């Protein structure tokens, strides 16, 4: 059975969107994963099929209704797949989470809109809340596409070379080292001599050193965890 995604959204026409192109698009056409986009409004009552209402306690904006969203979720055959609500207040999406999700049967993704979702349905369904980072998007659809793409590229036989997954950013707790290709000289800039040497151990050492440098300079949080992991390994050995 292929990795399966169900997206609940107010804008099902947004899917597959970018996911229909490049690697995820080819994998989708080859049946390596499947995608279903469902319209939340199909489960709303009344002539206007309203999915939102004003927040209790006052305030600006509208809140997605618990009864409508729950009915939409109930209409999905989750089959044990985790239910994830894309929200700026959720746990930040990281590579460890992506690897865990891609190793499962798939995901059910709820795309938020307006001021958010009635808390009661989040609690009742024990949804996982996931965020792309410390910023706000106009809707959860963009976050859903990012999460899906990150997972799909890890599925077996989606990437041309599985080896490329072993050295990319976050795999060893570090950002990826700088990459270079032809020409060897561009303007007054040259490719580092070690990469032209053919000496594999020296190249491997350079790449590790550069990955450490880039991580230390750009992501203090990752660098701190990386150093702590090295120290733990030394103590345990």
Centroid of chain to Cα 114: 21
Mean pLDDT of 203-232: 96
Mean pLDDT of 18-36: 98
Bridge partner residues of 41 (DSSP):
none
Mean pLDDT of 146-151: 98
Average pLDDT, the chain: 95
Residues 153/23, Cβ–Cβ less than 8 Å:
yes
CATH architecture of 167-236: Orthogonal Bundle (1.10)
CATH architecture of 3-152: 3-Layer(aba) Sandwich (3.40)
51 class by beta-carbon count within 10 Å (0-12 exposed, 13-18 middle, 19+ buried): buried
* pLDDT of 38 higher than 90: yes
Mean pLDDT of 192-214: 97
Q: Where are the domains of the chain?
A: 3-152, 167-236
Q: Report which secondary-structure segment, H or E, holds 125.
A: helix 119-125
Based on C-alpha coordinates, what's the Rg of the chain? 22
- What's the pLDDT score for residue 41? 97
């Amino acid at each position: 059975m292929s990795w399966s995604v169900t997206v609940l959204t107010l804008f099902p026409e947004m899917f597959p969107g970018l996911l229909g192109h490049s690697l995820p698009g080819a994998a989708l056409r080859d049946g390596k994963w499947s995608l279903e986009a469902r319209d939340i409004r199909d489960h709303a009552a009344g002539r206007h099929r309203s999915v939102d209402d004003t927040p209790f306690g006052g305030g600006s904006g509208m809140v997605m209704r618990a009864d409508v969203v729950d009915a939409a979720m109930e209409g999905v055959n989750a089959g044990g797949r985790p239910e994830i609500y894309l929200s700026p207040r959720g746990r930040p999406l990281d590579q460890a989470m992506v690897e865990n999700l891609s190793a499962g049967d798939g995901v059910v993704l709820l795309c938020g809109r307006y001021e958010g979702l009635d808390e009661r349905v989040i609690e009742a369904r024990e949804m996982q809340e996931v965020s792309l980072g410390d910023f706000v998007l106009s809707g959860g659809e963009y976050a859903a596409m990012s999460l899906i793409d990150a997972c799909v590229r890890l599925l077996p036989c989606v990437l041309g070379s599985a080896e490329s997954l072993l050295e990319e950013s976050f795999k060893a707790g570090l950002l990826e080292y700088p990459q270079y290709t032809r020409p060897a000289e561009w303007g007054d800039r040259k490719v580092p001599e070690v990469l032209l040497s053919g000496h594999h151990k020296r190249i491997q050492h350079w790449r590790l050193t550069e990955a450490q440098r880039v991580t230390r300079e750009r992501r203090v949080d990752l660098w701190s965890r990386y150093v702590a992991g090295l120290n733990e390994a030394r103590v345990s050995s």
